[in-house]
Amino acid sequence: MEFRNLGRSGLNVSLVGLGCNNFGGRTGIEESRAVIHAALDHGITLFDTADIYGGRGGSEVALGQWLGARRKDIVLASKFGMVMDDRGRKAGGARRYIMQAVEDSLRRLKTDWIDLYQFHRPDPATPIEETLRALNDLITQGKVRYIGCSNMPAWAVVDAQWSAKADGLSPFVSAQDEYSLLDRRPEAELIPALRAKGMGLLPYYPLASGLLSGKYARDATPSDDTRFGKDARTRDRYLTDTNWARVEKLDGFARAHGRDLLTLAFSWLAAQDIVGSVIAGATRPEQIAANVAAAAWKLTPADLADIDVLTR
């Protein structure tokens, strides 16, 4: 396993991370245990969850139950900000809410600290200075080690980093956003902003919700037990003629190099120096092994140039 620092921070993470969004939901408690232990056995240290995952807390509960003494061996990342109650009051980036949200997460995770605490999405109703000051206090208290953001536009990232510097507060060290061979939107504005501010990128949906896994065929209807089969909105977003054309070209490139599509998807992200860790979910232990092995292909500059042509 390769390890990288997240941006210019001292937070060292495994190049392949484990996305824990399925724990407590699609992946039951026992199945979660098997996946968690497989990740540990394969050298994965970054475990990424959120308070909202697994039906409002289920993912954090599963991690708290199964990590045990291995908690100290990992970089535990969680998030706050999404709606955690039916009335919509437990959400956002206000100080009052953050102080309660972190205590709830710590209790569910059965830990005294969170290594990377991430603002899940922007809160236009709360000044970013208030959010950053609350997070800075959590760092001072030892409940949080580093902070990051997610789903935040480039201008807001720059504004947050400027505010942190101006007020002497801890800055975000990372941004977690969708980024893959089929979604390269962050390259236009977000990635240049992250580079300028010394932040790392944690890409989610590295397989474009499964389209880059190689398990779907253009002329076949997705089965009911797959993400595309269950979710029409996701299916309509990804299964477009443009994406299929790109997938077919990328699959041909991978096969010409004796690899598969999944390996290409992971290795391309690993080749981006802004990427700290590629976050990928898993519901079975064998998927962990495949994800770790996939990131090992070292693409050459010529390979990357060819891939650019295929995905533009």
Known catalytic residues?
53
Token pair 């398990």 is found at 215
Token pair 């000051």 is found at 133
* Contact criterion met (CB below 8 Å) for 114 and 106: yes
Copy the structure tokens of residue 293: 């092995």
Spatial CB neighbours of 92, under 8 Å, sequence gap ≥ 6: 81, 123, 125, 126
Could you please report the per-residue DSSP string of 49-108? Answer: --TTHHHHHHHHHHHHHHHGGGGGGSEEEEEE-S--STTS-S-SS-HHHHHHHHHHHHHH
* Contact criterion met (CB below 8 Å) for 96 and 134: no
CB atoms within 10 A of CB 260: 16
3-state secondary structure of 147: strand
* Contact criterion met (CB below 8 Å) for 19 and 281: yes
H-helix or E-strand spanning residue 11: none
Burial 154-187 (b: 16+ CB within 10 A, else e): beebbebbebbeeeebbbbbbbbbbbbbbbeebe
| DSSP annotation of 185 | G
Strand partners, 183: 180
Token pair 């760092």 is found at 139
**Radius of gyration for the alpha carbons in the chain, expressed in angstroms and rounded:** 19
